[in-house]
Amino acid sequence: MKRIKKGPVWGVAIILSAVFLLGISCKGPEGPQGPPGTELCSTCHSDNTEILAREIQYQNSTHYLGGNYERDYFPCAGCHTHEGFIVLVEGGDTTQSIVNPTPPNCRTCHNIHETYTWEDFQLKTTATVNLREGGTFDMGAGNLCANCHQSRASDVIPSGQDTVYIWGPYWGPHHSPVANLISGQGGFEEFSGNYPSTPHYSAITGGCPECHMAEPYGSQAGGHTMNMFYEYHGQTELLTAGCEECHSDPVSEFETADSILEANLDSLRTILINAGIMDSTDHAVAGNWPRNLAGGLWNYLFVKEGHGVHNFDYANSLLENTIQALSGGN
């Protein structure tokens, strides 16, 4: 049998004995005492239901339900997919389609498990937004929203041209150009008349979340649903939690403003359909059209898609001036 050499083992034993007998310490000085390693983790990973409540709310939001996140090509991907939005706000390569896209989710708007510090759950961005149609938009936390909730094109009605080419049924500002509307910019303002604005843009310092993410009504409205309406005993109710600081009777004021806007939208809709530039489903009709008709169609879609109550004075002036012009008033 081959004998095992024990020399190195005995050498280690002698060294360890000397360290023990002479009181030699191999441990360095203690560092400053910091927080427990799990302190940050327990902010989320605890026995409370705060995050669960927000997840349930979000699952009833249009962001979660309305998705269309199969639109994994730019420019659509920048707002319809989580990955595309990150590329958009971080200035990445917007020429590449998204592989395995996912819908907007918690990580779209928040920094989660990126720094493992108190910075987690901060918003991805609150930087001032350069609107594609108009100037800049700066509304605090609402700047995050404005990256997508704005008109999608800046050259659909080129200046100095008497006719405008409408390329297809989805021509126009696209869905939810709220950042433009609430800040009073981006409408077609070439018709005679004034274009004033309500003070929402300057008065709501917290931006969009101040109203849309006010104290939630269960998982129907407010909070991370971002919805402004909920059902209560068969009735549709307006969430007023974020409005009451400025409006003494927000429901009555909303109903009045909404009824005026709806009446003017109906009048303009009739004009546009009769002119042939819009069909009965509120889609544009392709072709070369007179500038004033194209501008009228833009204003109709702009106010309808932007929900005019965000800036009633601006929205209503766009409609009234357009109706006056297209009815032969100027």
For 222-247, how does the pLDDT look when each residue is reduced to its tens digit (9 = 90+)?
999 999 999 999 999 999 999 999 99
The domain locations on the chain are 48-109, 132-326
Q: What is the pTM of this model?
A: 0.85
For 287-299, how does the pLDDT look when each residue is reduced to its tens digit (9 = 90+)?
999 999 999 999 9
**Mean pLDDT, the chain, as a whole number?**
89
Size of the chain, expressed as the number of residues it contains: 330
Q: Is the per-residue pLDDT at 111 higher than 80?
A: yes
Given a contact cutoff of 8 angstroms between Cβ atoms, the answer to whether 303 and 181 are in contact is: yes
CA distance 14 to 228: 77
For 201-228, how does the pLDDT look when each residue is reduced to its tens digit (9 = 90+)?
999 988 999 999 999 999 999 999 999 9
Residues 6+ apart with CB under 8 A from 299: 187, 188, 268, 318, 319, 322
Using alpha carbons, list the distances in angstroms from residue 180 to 118, 136, 152, 306.
33, 9, 10, 8
Q: Is the per-residue pLDDT at 144 higher than 70?
A: yes
Given a contact cutoff of 8 angstroms between Cβ atoms, the answer to whether 318 and 195 are in contact is: yes
Report residue 1's pLDDT band, with 50, 70 and 90 as the boundaries. Answer: low
Q: Other CB atoms closer than 10 Å to residue 229's CB: what's the count?
A: 13
